[in-house]
Structure 1
Amino acid sequence: MVTDHHYYPLEVEIANYLANEWSVPVLLGIFAAVCASIVIGTVVVIDKTHPNLPKGEKAAIWWFVISGAIHLFFEGYFSLNHTRMGPAQDLFGQLWKEYAFSDSRYLTSDPFVLCMETVTAFTWGPICFVVAFFITNSHPLRHPLQIIVCVGQIYGLILYYATSMFDHYYAQITYSRPEFLYFWGYYFFMNFIWMVFPGILLVSSVRTIARTFSALDKLTAAKSNGKANGHTNGHANGHANGHAKKTI
């Protein structure tokens, strides 16, 4: 059964749709409170267990923990429940229906959105937690994994924007309502966060790895020069001693 709704395009079919029972301020307030609790809890734990970590490293941990939680639990919820989003009235279901005013594909089991969110939830989500842990003990795999997850997040976001814009400009299909809150607030800003922070962390990791290899190359070159000089000096000293013996 397809019921009336206010999503774009207005003719899109949303099976068994039920309007949200909770108001927008309540939904967003609960979501913000949960996110704040995760961040504050992470801050308290890290400050107690690793007080000497630089502030930048602590901030990276906070980001990966909240990012991993949103990926795994919130986006994972969508991946597992995409076929019954229309009538859903639990917290995550209502949050997704509110967000869907900016992208109705989340209520129609759109293949791209479903595949993208599934990869994000069950690949990037767990890796975010692994990277956060690796930061605390300076694990050598921290930066390679950080690069992988950041590239994955940025690539997924680019495809997310691109597929929506392609349909908008070439197929004349609009998934977002025109109001400022939905397009610029939900669709653009709330997603663009995953362009900014992963971009910063990606650049940081690339620079760190570049500096490490540069230092390694210099060390290797210095060792090679030292061996070469030692061999040359040893050969020269041996030749000189042999010449002196012959002279005596």
Structure 2
Amino acid sequence: MSATYSNESMASHPYYPPGLALPGFVPNDISVPVLLTAFAGAAGFVVWVTSVLARTMQPRISKANLFTTMWFMLCGCIHFFFEGYFAYHNGSMPARADLFGQLWKEYAKSDRRYLTRDSFTVCMETVTAVAWGPLSFAIGWLVMKNHPLRHPLQIIVSLGQLYGDVLYYAIFFFDESVYGAVYCRPESFYFWTYFVMLNGFWIVVPLLLIAHSTVECTRALRFAQHAAKEVKPK
């Protein structure tokens, strides 16, 4: 809630509320279709490369494991590079004019906290980039190698993603309902597509992965307990 407002900044940027002061703001000069296509193309490339690598290392990899390794490799790239970019440049986001900067400024139409150095957003994205980014790469590799360590790490990272996303949603709605904060433009597209749908992936998929790894860990521990009873001297 540290954002400042200025009459001079009225209508000088597309974010809400219009009177929000964004020192050094530079408008985007890359069109929205190009920005979204670039992001989707990069994500598709990561998924394709991961699929090829996974099938090469493990020709009989299951569909579930293939999806999991693609998910975590994509998460690693988004967390470490894209969210890491924000964590590093959070103090100058309104003035950023490169591709990542313009992508963040486009997303900020649904959540202007990314342009105002909001304390929660900066801290949450920094933890995500530093912790969940590298660990996501590690899990993706462990899945390709069919290594059992992937399950405890999968629970840890997925729970971290889920917790961060729940807090992200909760603080947004709390500030809106209690303090009357306005973070998103009034058009439904920005709220439902950018804010709800794009972030919703990190609610649904982590829940599924936590459930899967919990079942696998329980099964392994049950087998170990049974084996220990079998060899226990009578």
TM-score range, shorter chain: over 0.9
Distance, in Å, in 2 between the alignment partners of 1:175 and 1:90 is 23
> Number of residues paired by the alignment?
226
Alignment of 1:1-12 (within 5 A): 3=9, 4-12=12-20
1:113 aligns with 2:121: yes
Alignment of 1:164-179 (within 5 A): 164-179=172-187
2:165 aligns with one of 154, 157, 172: 157
1:70 aligns with 2:81: no
1:15 aligns with one of 23, 41, 44: 23
Deviation at 1:38, TM superposition (A): 0.9
Residue in structure 2 matched with residue 53 of structure 1 by the alignment: 61
Q: CA RMSD in A?
A: 1.3
Distance, in Å, in 2 between the alignment partners of 1:18 and 1:150 is 36
Distance, in Å, in 1 between the alignment partners of 2:144 and 2:44 is 21
TM-score between the two structures when normalised by the length of structure 2 = 0.93
Distance, in Å, in 1 between the alignment partners of 2:146 and 2:49 is 21
Distance, in Å, in 1 between the alignment partners of 2:212 and 2:96 is 41
2:130 aligns with one of 122, 143, 154: 122
Distance, in Å, in 2 between the alignment partners of 1:221 and 1:50 is 34
Q: Match of 2:171, SS?
A: helix
Distance, in Å, in 2 between the alignment partners of 1:120 and 1:7 is 25
Deviates more, 1:119-128 or 1:1-10: 1-10
1:107 counterpart letter in structure 2: L
Distance, in Å, in 1 between the alignment partners of 2:211 and 2:148 is 17
Give me the identity figure in percent. Answer: 42
Residue in structure 1 matched with residue 214 of structure 2 by the alignment: 206
Deviation at 1:176, TM superposition (A): 0.6
Deviations 1:83-109, CA, capped at 9 Å, x for gaps: 111121100000000000000000011
Deviates more, 1:138-147 or 1:61-70: 138-147
Unaligned 5+ segments in structure 1 are 229-248
1:138 aligns with one of 134, 142, 146: 146
Give yes or no for contact 2:57–2:145 (8 Å, CA) kept in 1: no
1:216 aligns with 2:224: yes
Distance, in Å, in 2 between the alignment partners of 1:76 and 1:29 is 21
Distance 1:193 1:43, change over 3 A: same
Residue in structure 1 matched with residue 46 of structure 2 by the alignment: 38
1:197 aligns with 2:205: yes
Residue in structure 2 matched with residue 25 of structure 1 by the alignment: 33
Deviation at 1:160, TM superposition (A): 0.3
Distance, in Å, in 1 between the alignment partners of 2:145 and 2:45 is 24
